A and B are shown apart, each in its own frame.
Chain A
Amino acid sequence: MSLQLSQITHHFGSTEAVDCVSLDVKSGEQVALIGPSGCGKTTLLRIMGTQLLPSTGDISLIGRTPTTLSAREIKQLRTRIAMIPQHLGLVSNISVLRNVLNGGLGKINLLQTARQIIHPTRQEITRVYELLKRTGISEKIYDRTDSLSGGQQQRVAVARALYQQPSILLADEPVSSIDPARARDTIQMLTQLSKEEGITLVVSLHNLELAREFFPRLVGLRYGSTAFDCSPEALSNDDCQALFKMDSQDLVQHD
């Protein structure tokens, strides 16, 4: 089992961002987290990425329990979990090459980092090039990252995640800022990569159509708890409508 959450709760002050969620994800499985804004997708992904500790509940990632680990062990665990945050977290004024290389920092020490900054080896560059080729932007390897379009930058973030050679890949709304055709491409690429490499993939999405088309397993979140957890075939239209239905409470919140 790659990811095990049992009865996870997380609250920010009085807001229950995640409320008693249990989720088991087998290694190599592909899961889409869907739900309206504010339902706790980002929070749940950050818990899976060891950026937040759950307020209550048990969590196990690749057989390890982050709450009991030392700083050094957390660091080791983190190198095996790759995250693509919504804001991508790229350094905008350096080359694509260097951004991708940054994915491997967890596996080298400070001295090697300094060496890599000054002079990346040919093997390192070739590996980056191959990864960029798989994400479809190899000709951009030496371009400055902020000269790329939003969709291309997303691909840089994917390549950086893959450079990490992760067991788990988490992506937070990877297609929220690109047009439908490219969104489809990106999701296809992510699921394809996950299949080929056997990486566990958890992606949060707003777009139900895409989720149904590419993911064998859909998890619906509403107000921090699971509304459904099933395959696209088993998902009824009522479930979907209930998930995105606006409550009077929502209208007040988003005044």
Chain B
Amino acid sequence: MTKLPSRPLIKGHGRKWIVLALLVLFFGCRYILGPMPPSPPSSEEGFWGAALNPTLTDQSQSLPEDAMPFAERILKEMATTLRYAFIAMSMAVPAGLLLGFLASSKWWPSMIGDVSAGNKAARYLLRPIQISVRLFTTLMRSIHELIWAILFLAALGHEPITACVALALPFAGTLAKVFSEIIDEQSVHARDHLITSGAGPLQAFLTSLIPQSFPDIATYTVYRFECALRSSAVLGFIGIETIGLSITRSFENHFYNELWTELYLLLAVILLVDALGAMLRKRLNRIPKRTAVPDLSRSTRENIKQLKRTAPRSVMARVLLWSSIVLVIVSWFPSMINVSTQPLVKASSSNTMQLSKSERLSHFLTKMTPAPVRESGAWNDTIPWANELWHENGKTAVINTIAMATAAIIISAFAAWLLLPWASRALASAKPLGLFGGSDNPLRNIIWQSVGLLTRFLFVISRAIPEYIYAYLLIGLLGVSAWPLVLALALHNFGILGRLWGEVIENQPAEAPRQLLRSGSGRLQCYFSSFVPASFNRFLMYLFYRWETCVREATVLGMLGFASLGLHIQLSRNFSRAYDEMLFYVLLGSAVIFIGDLISVYLRRGLAKA
């Protein structure tokens, strides 16, 4: 979206040093995380074989007569996954729009030339609002949705709506950040012109910057919906009835054929959304042209009517918009189409054994106060308490979490870096960059085309499955250590980096690499000596951006059993119900993410200046 740097900032040797430094860093993380233990024998028995043999019927022999058949059950769970994703997005998008608007300064009264538009004093009032909104959205993002969910479920009871709100919170934060970035990237020519013709700053903002940023906002929203779908599936791991729940059950019972069916179903739905997003992007970037001019010999009113009727418009965008509105409404009120589902909010039961919501909440809040404070009532006691937790577990957990994220992003970076030329539309072709590459040979064409397709498909598949599910399966197969988690993170991010970097290469001017090819170098030479140097800064920018999200994910992956922040959050919740300790680790995690975010922004800004 931002312009490519005209000249690479980092010169040849600098690049080599950076690659070397990444390798050294990787071995450093490997040292911190320890070696990979030998995998427990027989753990994978039948797992891979079942991949080719997914089932549509129950593997369990001991189900009650009236149990819902397998196929129906997983379809229902998949629908629930979609439903919660829709509900979460229906809250996150409006909130994200509002917060993104408040985080941007493009609608403020400002100077055009040297004449002010509107009341300049307003800026002094708006600045603090902007800063606090930015801080607030960063805080929303710095706690992972799964942790929000755990907190909310503990505080408010086990209801689906609570989980949806938990999903919506960090998503609103991310959407707000990206929306405001999209708005800030737009050209202000049109807005400034409107202001100089007498429009107010807000009017000009609404009529120029908003429509200008609409295509990017829409495609990013679809991408976020895809992410919401993944997160919604993962909610199953903490007991919400989404497809993740069946995945855990099938895996625990070694029903691998069932497991693969569930994975394929999830994959199919996510790939479908991914494809829809790609189509929408293509559609919105294509300029619709009028094909038919109606007969304009009638009255003005009639002419306008005819012109409107025959106006070129993108049907697909409209269909997508309306169908998502309908789906959101149906998700909130499924009774409208006579489908019986899990109620979002449980009816308050007359059962006296169950605590009422407010009792639960106050109970939770009490338990969240640090233990020594609960006894003595003096908040000063928090410091030694926190200090002890930090030295006991906190420090190692933080280091391990960061090491996991770093090791993972380095693995995925190297993998994506090496596979990228095979995925590039420009290079993986019998005619690289459209140049004549020897006599036409249909076989060569087919081979190159399928290499490109397969590699791109590999990227797509590996990013479609959420990290948490990879991690869950890998821990089961490889035994408990940091490495299954690192691999899970690496797998998912490999696909994302592959796509982001692929776009960088595709947007790069092709003249220099074409010149190289013309003078006789091969595809790989061309990739390493022309594409990589010219895109190196952007590659690194995306690397840091993904590293930041890896840190975020790493804090929760620990819940699966490796000594990192997630594990302690899980332990203090599950075993001791020590919500005070849990809160300590949650805050520690959000501090780590917050700092990671700042570091990443700082590094990326430095790179963008080139």
Interface residues of A (CB under 8 A from B): 46, 49-53, 66, 71, 74-76, 78-79, 81-83, 85, 87, 89-95, 98, 102-103, 105-108, 110, 113-114, 117, 122, 125-126, 129-130, 138-144, 146-147, 161, 164
Please give, as numbers and ranges, the residues of chain B lying within 8 Å of A66 by CB-CB distance. 115
Question: Among residues 331 to 373 in chain B, which have CB atoms less than 8 Å away from a CB atom of chain A?
Answer: none
Nearest chain B CB to A51 CB, angstrom units: 4
Partner of B287, one of A75, A79, A126, A147: A147
> What is the 8 Å Cβ interface bit string for chain B, positions 125-154, against chain A (1 contact, 0 not)?
000000000000000000000000000000
Which of chain B's residues has its CB closest to A80's CB?
B198
**Could you list some 5 contacts between A and B, CB below 8 A?**
A85-B189, A87-B189, A94-B211, A108-B203, A142-B311
The segment out of B297-305, B378-386, B594-602 that lies at the interface is B297-305
Neighbouring B residues of A83 by C-beta, 8 Å: 193, 196-197
Whether A164 pairs with B119 at a CB distance below 8 angstroms is no
In the complex, chain A residues whose CB is within 8 Å of the CB of B114: 52-53
Asked whether B190 lies within 8 Å of A91 as measured between CB atoms, the reply is yes
Report whether B119 and A71 are in contact in the complex, using a CB–CB cutoff of 8 Å: yes
B293: which of A74, A105, A113, A139 is its contact (CB, 8 Å)? A139
Return the contact of B115 from the options A51, A76, A81, A98 (Cβ within 8 A): A51
Cβ 8 A contact of A78, one of B196, B212, B215: B196
Smallest distance from the beta carbon of A7 to chain B beta carbons, Å?
Answer: 19
Q: Is the CB of B193 within 8 A of A89?
A: yes
Chain A proximity of B280: nearest CB distance (Å):
14
Q: Which residues of chain B in 187-217 are interfacial with respect to chain A, using CB atoms and an 8 Å cutoff?
A: 189-190, 192-194, 196-200, 202-204, 206-208, 211-212, 214-215
Given contacts A93-B215, A102-B207, A147-B288, whether A52 and B113 have CB atoms under 8 Å apart is yes
Contacts of A81 in B (CB 8 A): 197
Contact A105 B115 (CB under 8 A): no
Residue of A98, A142, A161, A164 most packed against chain B (CB within 10 A): A142
Residue from B109, B118, B290 within 8 A of A143 (CB atoms): B290
Nearest 8 Cβ contacts at the A-B interface: A106-B198, A89-B193, A79-B198, A142-B311, A105-B199, A78-B198, A51-B113, A52-B113
A50/B196 in contact, CB under 8 A: yes
Give the complex CA separation of A89 and B190 in angstroms. Answer: 4
Q: Once the chains are docked, how many angstroms separate the CA of A165 from the CA of B112?
A: 22
A89 and B211: CB pair below 8 A?
Answer: no
A37 to B374, CA, bound (A): 77
Interface residues on B, range: 35 or more
Least CB distance from A99 to B in Å reads 9
- In the complex, A126 Cα to B212 Cα: how many Å? 25
B116 within 8 A of A: yes
Query: CA separation between A82 and B109, bound complex, in Å?
Result: 20
Task: State A9–B308 Cα separation when bound (angstroms).
Answer: 49
Contact check: which of B117, B287, B303 meets A144 at CB < 8 Å? Answer: B287
B389 touches A (CB below 8 Å): no
Name the residue of chain B whose CB is nearest to the CB of A76. B198
Q: A91-B211, A105-B207, A126-B304 are in contact. Are A71 and B117 (CB under 8 A)?
A: yes
Residues of B within 8 A of A (CB): 109, 112-120, 189-190, 192-194, 196-200, 202-204, 206-208, 211-212, 214-215, 287-290, 293, 296, 300-301, 303-304, 307-308, 311-312
For B111, give the chain A residue with the smallest CB separation.
A51
B201 to chain A, nearest CB (A): 10
Cα-based distance from A130 to B287 in the complex (angstroms): 25
Contact across chains for A113 and B113 when beta carbons are under 8 A apart: no
A76 to B198, CA, bound (A): 6
List 4 additional A-B contacts (Cβ < 8 Å) besides A85-B189, A138-B303, A142-B308. A78-B197, A93-B212, A98-B211, A147-B289
Residues of B contacting A126 in the complex (Cβ-Cβ under 8 angstroms): 300-301, 304
Assembled-state Cα–Cα distance A249/B398 (Å) = 64
In the complex, which of the residues A46, A52, A114 contacts B206, with contact meaning CB atoms closer than 8 Å?
A114
Interface residue from B193, B198, B206 paired with A117 (Cβ < 8 Å): B206
A14–B307 CA distance with the chains assembled, in angstroms: 53
**Shortest beta-carbon distance from B314 to chain A in Å:** 9
Min CB–CB distance A82 → chain B (angstroms): 6
B296 partner residues in chain A, CB cutoff 8 A: 138-139
Chain B residues, CB < 8 A from A141 = 304, 307
| Chain A proximity of B395: nearest CB distance (Å) | 52
- Chain A residues contacting B307 (CB-CB under 8 Å) are 139, 141-142
B204 touches A105 (CB 8 A): yes
Cβ contact within 8 Å between A89 and B288: no
Residues of B within 8 A of A93 (CB): 211-212, 214-215
Chain B CB count within 10 A is highest, among A46, A75, A92, A147, for A75
- Min CB distance, A245 to chain B, in Å? 31
Tell me, rounded to whole Å, the shortest Cβ–Cβ distance linking B286 to chain A.
Answer: 10
Given A71-B119, A117-B207, A142-B311, A89:B194 Cβ within 8 A: yes
By a CB distance below 8 angstroms, the chain A residues around B112 are 51
Contact B194 A74 (CB under 8 A): no
Q: Beyond A117-B206, A143-B312, is A89–B192 a contact (Cβ under 8 Å)?
A: yes
Contacts of B194 in A (CB 8 A): 89, 102, 105
Closest to A90 in B: B190
Complex: how many Å from CA A142 to CA B112? Answer: 30
* Least CB distance, A172 to chain B, in whole angstroms: 11
Chain B residues within an 8 Å CB radius of A125: 304
- Complex alpha-carbon distance, A51 and B189, angstroms: 13
Question: Which residues of chain A are within 8 angstroms of B206 by Cβ–Cβ distance?
Answer: 110, 113-114, 117
Task: Give A32 to B120 CA distance when docked, in angstroms.
Answer: 35
Chain A min CB distance to B236 (Å): 40
Docked CA distance A144–B189 (Å): 18
Tell me if A129 and B300 are in contact (CB < 8 A): yes
Name the A residues within 8 Å of B290 (CB-CB).
Answer: 140, 143, 147
Please indicate the chain B residues that have their CB under 8 angstroms from the CB of A76 in the complex: 198
CB distance from A13 to the nearest CB of B (A): 13
Quick check: A102 and B208 within 8 Å, CB to CB?
A: yes
Measured between alpha carbons, how far is A65 from B109 in the docked complex, in Å? 21
| B202 close to A110 (CB less than 8 A) | yes
| CB proximity of A149 to chain B, nearest CB, Å | 11
